[in-house]
Amino acid sequence: MAEKAGLVAFVEVKRGVTLAGAAHTLSARQRGRLIRGAEILLGEHPDWGPAGVRFDVMLVDATGTVRRIADAFRMETSEQ
């Protein structure tokens, strides 16, 4: 989790041989767990995130290249 100017970002790091492969390792089930965890944490700390909440994904490939996807998914559309 990271915070800047009241915006809370929950960050998931995924590694794969390629960046695309790393991206494919984040399943709908994992997104659901991240969302539920965020809901619990934010419920315990209602003062966190006055400027908003987002979920970022950091992708890392075998060479160490890193790509950040800001606001990769949202709470209301991620659970299917």
Domain positions in the chain are: 2-78
pTM for this model (two decimals): 0.84
Q: In this structure, is the dihedral angle defined by the CA atoms of residues 42, 43, 44 and 45, taken in order, positive or negative?
A: positive
pLDDT digits over 13-47, tens only?
999 999 999 999 999 999 999 999 999 999 999 99
Mean pLDDT to the nearest integer, 54-74? 96
Domain made up of 2-78: CATH architecture? 3-Layer(aba) Sandwich (3.40)
Three-state DSSP string of 6-21: CEEEEEEEEECCCHHH
pLDDT for residue 79 is more than 50: no
Distance between CA 46 and CA 41 in Å, rounded?
Answer: 9
**Confidence label for 80 from pLDDT (cuts 50, 70 and 90):** very low
